[in-house]
């Protein structure tokens, strides 16, 4: 049964992340906010002067990097302090203050890119040859040149920078509603026991062996979101309209183009993924049918999708999960494995267990100059182990990027972000499938794999299609209401579930509201599917190519934003402009369905179940 949800103050410190490694106290954070704001005054001395010389330009860029690094630490600390307990109003106030400072910095630095573009590519090249230290900005200058048509005047860029804080309000409101204000009726077991339901334990409850627990958890979770659907719908409509506004201001043909063009990604990358997803829906229909038959149900519901198919699902305590993950990542070498192990244990990168008010979901955060941080709600099962592997993949990507790139390239695009995370999951899964022959464990592990594919190769493409539909409606100035959103979402899932899954249109239709972050990130969700495709291709490469392939992958992790996303993936050994990686991932999905059926038939033949 699910772990009781603790109060934040009752958690042992070793189970929490070490925010004091960024700022020893909240007063130190306050002081850093003031210092960062004061540094903005120094920027005024560079306004209108960047074309004077390479030396002046280099000084300005280095000053800006110092400011952004300071801001990154301020922002990371405040957002994580809030996320660990969203009912903490003092933490929420700090997060709001950090957002305000972020907007100030964006506005104060808005003059830089238009002035750099005015210098001209030939002059910039000469300055890079003459001014030591400026040459590292070559890729950044090329990136700006590619964006020339979409970078506005200094005055417009300043206004857009100032708008970042108010533009973030819709997302913040939706997230606050989801994490702090939703009221969930408890789940109920088949014996009548009531179980507290929260954002922190919903995943554990919908994988419970008791079908009544799963049903009531699914329904009560959806019902809580339905109760606030109009407010959440208005928030999401506002977010979509802001995307459309920004795309129009910058002269893009669509919000989709605006989201992809800065990363040198063609809009075809989105449409090709969606088309492949639609072609392979019969594989999902086959999986739903197989699960229904294996579970012995006459009807199959959404809350049965993660029903355990073994009588004794493996328990995986946190420390054991860390050991498995470290062992699974051994092909990447000792340094990678030992760094990851230290981070997940004594260095306290991870905020491990659920607590009241904790932000939903899981993520990896931090900034260059800090170590990575992971927020999750670990529930001692194989699904949590997989989530931990996923987030550690993100964290190790950040770890290597931060230590090998200058600040200008210390981040990486969303298109490559989901590669490292899914790579970890796939490599650890491969290790466990090969090293643990117990049939029960194998079934549970394939269930985990299918749950992961369900999220990234089923839910996320459906949400991507939903996102495109909403943006296109907004671009046509059509109304966006919760009723419209629910209908669009339900229709998309009806196509995905086919005739194999019983539809509860209202509760399935509200799925969009259960993603209070992803759908505000402007066409991010489809990149989970491209990421998992690239990841599986690279796992195959590393396992078959030995140290050379592993080294190429590590070079990819170290590249950060110093290469365009498609080039970074080519460095690792996969070409995402071709259809093969996505098709290979769907082929692997089909193999998992086949293998699961074989294992269950073997179990039934052996009289185990």
Selection from 363, 396, 355, 359 nearest residue 379 by Cα: 355
Give me the DSSP letters along 523-581: S-THHHHHHHHHHHHHHHHHHHHHHHHHHHHHHHHHHTTSS-HHHHHHHHT--TTSSHH
Class of residue 117 by CB neighbours under 10 A (exposed 0-12, middle 13-18, buried 19+): middle
Q: Please report, for residues 87, 429, 597, 603, the alpha-carbon distance to residue 439 in angstroms, rounded to integers and kept in the order given.
A: 44, 15, 12, 7
What residues contact residue 511 under an 8 Å CB cut-off, 6+ apart? 459, 463, 489, 493
Q: Tokens 């990136």 correspond to what residue?
A: 143
How far apart CA 582 and CA 534 sit, in angstroms, is: 8
For strands 350-351 and 373-375, give the pairing.
Answer: parallel
Q: Do 332 and 557 contact (CB within 8 A), yes or no?
A: no
CB 133 within 8 A of CB 58: yes
Torsion angles phi and psi, residue 380, rounded to 5: 55, 40
Please say if 391 is a catalytic residue.
yes
- Kindly provide the b/e burial profile for residues 529-553, where b requires at least 16 CB atoms within 10 angstroms of the residue's own CB: bbbbbbbbbbbbbbbebeeebbebb
Which helix (H) or strand (E) covers residue 365, if one does?
A: strand 363-365
Tokens 């409606």 found at: 473
Distances (CA, A) of 520 to 162, 357, 529: 18, 21, 18
Both structure tokens of 549: 């392939």
SS3 (DSSP) at 380: coil
Pairing of strands 363-365, 350-351: unpaired
Q: Structure tokens of 299? A: 């009807």
Sequence-separated (6 or more) residues with CB below 8 Å from residue 149:
251
Q: CA distances (Å), 396 to each of 389, 484, 586, 609, in order?
A: 10, 40, 26, 40
Q: Which listed residue (219, 391, 467, 475) is catalytic?
A: 391
End-to-end CA distance of the chain: 21
- 190: phi then psi, degrees, rounded to nearest 5: -65, -20
Three-class HEC string of 313-355: CCECCHHHHHHHHHHHCHHHCHHHHHHHHHHHCCCCCEECCCE
SS3 300: coil
Cα-only R_g, the chain:
24
3: number of Cβ within 10 Å:
14
Q: Tokens standing for 560?
A: 């950060």
Catalytic residue positions, numbered: 391
């Amino acid at each position: 049964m699910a772990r009781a949800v603790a109060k934040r103050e009752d958690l042992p410190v070793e189970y929490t992340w070490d925010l004091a490694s960024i700022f020893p106290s909240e007063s130190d954070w306050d002081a850093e906010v003031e210092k960062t704001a004061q540094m903005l005054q120094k920027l005024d001395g560079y306004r209108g002067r960047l074309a004077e010389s390479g030396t002046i330009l280099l000084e300005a860029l280095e000053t800006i990097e110092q400011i952004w690094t300071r801001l990154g630490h301020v922002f990371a600390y405040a957002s994580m302090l809030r996320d660990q307990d969203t009912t903490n109003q003092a933490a929420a106030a700090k997060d709001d203050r950090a957002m305000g400072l972020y907007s100030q910095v964006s506005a104060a630095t808005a003059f830089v890119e238009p002035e750099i573009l005015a210098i001209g590519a030939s002059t910039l090249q000469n300055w890079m040859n003459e001014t030591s230290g400026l040459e590292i900005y070559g890729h950044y200058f090329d990136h700006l040149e590619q964006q020339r048509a979409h970078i506005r005047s200094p005055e417009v860029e300043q206004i857009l920078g100032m708008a970042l804080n108010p533009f973030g309000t819709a997302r913040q409101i939706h997230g606050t509603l989801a994490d702090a204000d939703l009221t969930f009726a408890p789940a109920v077991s088949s014996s009548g026991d009531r179980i507290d339901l929260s954002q922190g334990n919903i995943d554990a409850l919908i994988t419970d062996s008791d079908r009544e627990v799963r049903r009531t958890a699914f329904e009560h979770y959806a019902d809580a979101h339905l109760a606030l659907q109009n407010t959440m719908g208005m928030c999401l409509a506002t977010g979509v309209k802001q995307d459309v506004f920004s795309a129009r201001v910058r002269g893009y043909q669509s919000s989709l183009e605006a989201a992809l063009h800065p990363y040198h990604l063609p809009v075809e990358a989105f449409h090709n993924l969606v088309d492949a997803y639609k072609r392979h829906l019969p594989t999902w229909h086959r999986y739903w049918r197989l699960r229904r038959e294996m579970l012995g149900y006459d009807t199959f519901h959404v809350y049965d999708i993660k029903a355990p198919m073994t009588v004794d699902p493996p328990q995986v305590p946190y420390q054991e999960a860390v050991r498995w993950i470290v062992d699974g990542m051994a092909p990447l070498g000792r340094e990678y494995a030992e760094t990851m192990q230290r981070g997940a244990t004594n260095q306290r990168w991870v905020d491990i267990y659920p607590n009241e008010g904790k932000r939903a979901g899981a993520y990896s955060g931090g900034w260059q100059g800090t170590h990575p941080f992971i927020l999750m709600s670990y529930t001692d099962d194989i699904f949590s182990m997989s989530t931990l592997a996923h987030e550690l993949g993100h964290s190790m990507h950040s770890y290597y990027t931060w230590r090998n790139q200058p600040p200008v390239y210390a981040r990486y695009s969303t298109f490559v972000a989901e590669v490292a995370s899914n790579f970890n999951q796939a490599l650890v899964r491969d290790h466990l499938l090969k090293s643990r022959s117990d049939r029960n464990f194998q079934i549970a592990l394939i269930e985990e794999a299918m749950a992961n594919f369900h999220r990234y190769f089923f839910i996320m493409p459906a949400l991507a299609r939903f996102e495109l539909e909403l943006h296109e409606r907004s671009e046509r100035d059509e109304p966006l209401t919760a009723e419209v959103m629910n209908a669009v979402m339900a229709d998309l899932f009806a196509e995905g579930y086919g005739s194999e899954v019983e539809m509860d249109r209202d509760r399935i239709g509200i799925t969009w509201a259960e993603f209070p972050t992803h759908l505000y990130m402007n066409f991010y969700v489809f990149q989970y599917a491209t990421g998992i495709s690239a990841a599986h291709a690279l796992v195959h490469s590393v396992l078959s190519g030995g140290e050379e392939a592993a080294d190429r992958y590590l070079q990819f992790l170290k590249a950060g934003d110093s290469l365009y996303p498609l080039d970074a993936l080519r460095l690792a050994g996969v070409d995402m402009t071709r259809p093969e990686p996505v098709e290979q991932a769907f082929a692997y999905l089909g193999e998992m369905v086949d293998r699961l059926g074989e294992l269950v038939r073997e179990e039934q033949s052996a009289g185990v179940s």
